[in-house]
Amino acid sequence: MDFGFLTQPAFSGGGTYFDWVLSGIKWTMLVSVCAWLIAFTIGSVLGVMRTTKLRWLYLPAAAYVELFRNIPLLVQMFIWYFVIPEIVPKALGTWMKQGMPMPEFWSAVLALGFYTASRVAEQVRSGIQSIPAGQTQAALATGLTMPQVYRHLLLPMGYRIVIPPLTSEFLTIFKNSSVALTIGVLELTAQARTISEYTFRTFEIFTLATVVYVLITMAVTVLMQFVETRVRVPGYVGTGK
């Protein structure tokens, strides 16, 4: 393998091919992290909504999850990029297509974020529901209101329980971010493809991309393990009693 081509001036843009790789990494990170912020926030709200006994809260959340979880991510990407600008009010649609900066980036972030939110919602719901009902009763019995029970018991315990599956969703979002290339986001996979077309160093460049993805996921895993250790409850083994 010869990685010498990385330092050569790139076909366009003035930098080297290595600069293209770096730019790809930057967009992969940006798409993934922005999408994760949306997924985590909306997913948490939806997950909590699904655990309440209030029909007007859990029904919309359940509908959301079923809808977004069951449409392929690629299709959702196309819908956000190609379809949404056509069906929103005309002025907004025109702005989305012409005025809005980086339309492909924002479409990718929204598609990936809203899709992953449905998966996060399921994790958060299962975490909260795995807490024995007696815990909620005990908390209510002390005079706490239901929102307080969520705030002080169900959420802190629920999130602890679902750190492992949430980590896995967080990793998946980095991998799924490569789907953004289909609507023109020049993230890592897209850059690797372009570089291979210009240099014919297909093997080298995809090896490099693979290594970068592995490094990113390793970093995320280490970060989440750190979080898990930080919030570990002494003596706590599980919810089963």
List contacts with other proteins (CB under 8 A).
132, 134-135, 137-145, 148, 152-153, 156-157, 160, 231, 233-237, 241
Closer CB to other proteins, 41 or 137, in the complex:
137
Closer CB to other proteins, 60 or 134, in the complex:
134
Closer CB to other proteins, 91 or 233, in the complex:
233
Q: How far is the CB of 142 from other proteins (least distance, A)?
A: 4
**Which residues are CB-neighbours of 92 under 8 A, at least 6 positions away?**
85
Q: How far is the CB of 100 from other proteins (least distance, A)?
A: 44
3-state SS assignment for residue 127: helix
What whole-number distance in Å separates Cα of residue 39 and Cα of residue 50? 16
What whole-number distance in Å separates Cα of residue 223 and Cα of residue 163? 11
| 123 within 8 A of 162, measured Cβ to Cβ | yes
| 121 within 8 A of 46, measured Cβ to Cβ | yes
| 119 within 8 A of 76, measured Cβ to Cβ | no
Q: How far is the CB of 138 from other proteins (least distance, A)?
A: 3
Q: How far is the CB of 98 from other proteins (least distance, A)?
A: 51
Closer CB to other proteins, 4 or 234, in the complex:
234
What whole-number distance in Å separates Cα of residue 169 and Cα of residue 69? 13
Q: How far is the CB of 160 from other proteins (least distance, A)?
A: 7
Closer CB to other proteins, 137 or 202, in the complex:
137
